[in-house]
Structure 1
Amino acid sequence: MLSMQDVLDYCDLDRGEIEAIAEHEHLPLAIAAELSEVLLGTPEGVCQLHAMILENMQQALAAGDNQRVLELMETYEHLKRTHPLPSMH
């Protein structure tokens, strides 16, 4: 049986990014990890990942959860470095 860490180790995203997907889509972490791999497979999916984290930031900001905003900012910075938005020609 795979542990959650095994699942996360398999993914091309880090735990914070997968947690952000789970939060945005209201999914268990393991399902969000699977979804992350599907999304990374297309330029449109990468754009969706960026949008999810930005939307989570907006919600946290609206809720006054400044700590969560900071966490998501770090997560988004990592995503931008490792999976930048595709250039649309």
Structure 2
Amino acid sequence: MVNFIALSNTLGSGYDIDVGTRTAEANMLTLRDCIDFSDLREEEILAIAECEHIPLLTALEEGESMVHTPRGRKRIAVMIKSQAEICERTGNTVHAQHLRRVHDAFINRFGKMVARP
């Protein structure tokens, strides 16, 4: 059995990830494996993808690279906060609140390690 990931992009809510299993002869890394190996949480990766308008796997790679430096962590925090502000201005207050919670959780985890301006 090999896990698989199905992505669907629903309007206004980013990506939904559907995890399942199927039989396969060869083992491979799944998107879920990559997320689990990352130092970022799934919501943070989704926020990077949304902000940068890039595919989820590319956001995972970019975010994983950035999270290991103070400057990169600052950039991630700014991305998430900026995306929340954009959502608020465009009337998507529910998603803006979600992104603020993601930002707050990110700052709580990396706050002392986020570069100061």
After TM superposition, the score normalised by the length of structure 2 is 0.70
Name the structure, 1 or 2, with higher relative contact order (CA <8 Å, separation 6+). 1
Aligned twin of 1:70: 97
> Which residue, out of 52, 61, 78, partners 1:25?
52
Q: Partner of 2:33: helix, strand, or coil? A: helix
Equivalence for 2:107: 80
More helix by share: 1
For 2:32, the equivalent position in structure 1 comes to 5
Gap runs ≥5 in structure 1: none
> Which structure 2 residues correspond to residues 20-59 of structure 1 after superposition, within 5 A?
20-59=47-86
Task: Supply the distance in 2 between the matched residues of 1:87 and 1:35 (Cα, whole angstroms).
Answer: 21
* RMSD (CA atoms): 1.3
Question: Structure 1, residues 3-33: CA drift from partner, whole Å, max 9, x if none?
Answer: 1111110111111100000011111111111
Q: TM-score, normalised by structure 1?
A: 0.91
Counterpart-to-counterpart distance in 2, 1:36 and 1:79: 12
Mapped to 2, the partners of 1:33 and 1:13 lie a distance apart of: 8
Please give the alpha-carbon distance, in whole angstroms, between the structure 2 residues aligned to 1:77 and 1:87. Answer: 16
* Counterpart AA for 1:17: E
Counterpart in 1 of 2:41? 14
